[in-house]
Amino acid sequence: MAVTLEEAPWLGWILVKALMRFAFMVANNLVAIPSYICYVIILQPLRVLDSKQFWYIEGIMYKWLLGMVASWGWYAGYTVMEWGEDIKAISKDEAMMLVNHQATGDVCTLMMCLQDKGLVVAQMMWLMDHIFKYTNFGIVSLIHGDFFIRQGRSYRDQQLLLLKKHLESNYRSRDRKWIVLFPEGGFLRKRRETSQAFARKNNLPFLTHVTLPRFGATKIILSALVARQENGSPAGGDAKELESKSKGLQWIIDTTIAYPKAEPIDIQTWILGYRKPTVTHVHYRIFPIKDVPLETDDDLSNWLYQRFIEKEDLLSHFYETGAFPPPKGQKEAVSREMTLSNTWIFLIQSFAFLSGYMCMFEHIAGAFCIGTWSSPASTRECEERIGVLK
């Protein structure tokens, strides 16, 4: 496609802006992630003395890091509009989010729209594809206790066993409250044909905007995290009793992400910002855990299939009208614009860069000391050199 003279300046500006954003993102990662790791190392004695306090502080820093990622999209004009039930009301309870998956930008979208939900992000565990382990953020997720799952039939049984062990070892010991799962097991564009073929073969609904979910990970999570009453039924809350004190997983949040014109945002777009400002729409439905059938695998899989059939209807309505349908008994759906505080973003970015500067200073100071000790200079001279750097 040829570029006209009128378009050239605009495209040139897009390229320059993308390069500037990428440079800032690299700098952001180079200071924020090492600083996070440095603080975690420094706080190891606290982990021994008071592990709950340690994981609380680690969670706050984790939330700040995710806030930085959210800010990259926020300042590019990639905002979020929320629909459905208000999940802030259950932010202090244990919950699992079931999310449809279209692109890498889905994770960034959730990082953004959950920032204003109290300590949810700080106390959250993510289940993500193992490839993310090898990204710049992988070391942070490993420390935080997120679980990297390897896709493929040959790995399935092994991965489910590893997930069970991971939950038993890391979920409650690190005071986690929410867990995020993409039950489709991959991106829509990659799984749609396979899912539709499976649906034809098994006389299941033909879905276009989502795929049929896999229920293995869902089953493991529910069996590991749902508290049981003496009669064996799940202990959960009721939507009208948000002050429930029952332990264990209490809610399932059916989360549906929709992009205008069904054009999802990927991580490259989120970072470089070359796409025009876009509003991503996120719809929530809350289910008490006591309403989820856990007796048999068939009951659970049918319940999960029904959630994604409803997602299909929600997305079909959205793509036709530009809005989600209203809940039963209401004439119109109400949306809420999600916002990030510019002041808060500035503060955490400043803290990250200041911490990076301090780490760099210590590194340079250490290098000076090494140089000093390799010569006849004394300890006092080393201290004087560090004093000069200060």
Domain span at 379: 352-389
In a domain, 30, yes or no: no
User: Do 103 and 178 share a structural domain?
Assistant: yes
Q: Within the chain, which residues score under 50 in pLDDT? A: 1, 230-231, 237-246, 364-379, 381-390
User: Do 372 and 325 share a structural domain?
Assistant: no
User: Do 202 and 83 share a structural domain?
Assistant: yes
User: Do 283 and 371 share a structural domain?
Assistant: no
User: Do 185 and 159 share a structural domain?
Assistant: yes
In a domain, 116, yes or no: yes
Alpha-carbon distances of 241 from 28, 153, 237, 299, rounded to whole Å: 42, 41, 6, 26
Alpha-carbon distances of 214 from 153, 200, 204, 272, rounded to whole Å: 11, 16, 14, 33
User: Do 383 and 248 share a structural domain?
Assistant: no
User: Do 238 and 135 share a structural domain?
Assistant: yes
At 240 the pLDDT is 42
Provide, for the chain, the percentages of residues in helix, strand and coil under a 3-state DSSP scheme, each rounded to the nearest 5: 55, 15, 35
Contact 346, 367 (CB under 8 A): no
At 88 the pLDDT is 92
For the entire predicted model, the pTM comes to 0.84
Distance, first Cα to last Cα, the chain: 55
At 13 the pLDDT is 73
- Domain closes at, from 320, 340, 360: 340
At 382 the pLDDT is 41
User: Do 261 and 185 share a structural domain?
Assistant: yes
In a domain, 284, yes or no: yes
Instruction: Could you list the beta-strand ranges (E) of the chain.
Output: 78-84, 95-99, 124-129, 147-149, 178-181, 251-258, 278-288, 335-338
User: Do 298 and 379 share a structural domain?
Assistant: no
User: Do 361 and 250 share a structural domain?
Assistant: no
User: Do 329 and 287 share a structural domain?
Assistant: yes
d(Cα 275, Cα 267) in Å, to the nearest integer?
Answer: 12
What residues pair up with 148 in beta bridges, in sequence order?
Answer: 128
In a domain, 219, yes or no: yes
In a domain, 109, yes or no: yes
In a domain, 303, yes or no: yes
In a domain, 148, yes or no: yes
User: Do 331 and 220 share a structural domain?
Assistant: yes
In a domain, 312, yes or no: yes
How many structural domains are present in the chain? 2
Element (H, E) at 271: helix 267-272
Q: 165 exposed, middle or buried (CB, 10 Å; 0-12, 13-18, 19+)?
A: exposed
Please, which contacts does 344-353 make with residues 24 or more away whose CB atoms are closer than 8 Å? 344/67, 345/67, 345/68, 345/71, 345/74, 348/64, 348/67, 348/68, 349/28, 349/68, 349/71, 351/64, 352/28, 352/31, 352/32, 352/35, 352/64, 352/68, 353/31
At 4 the pLDDT is 60
At 359 the pLDDT is 66
Which one, of 127, 123, 255, 133, lies nearest residue 180 by Cα? 127
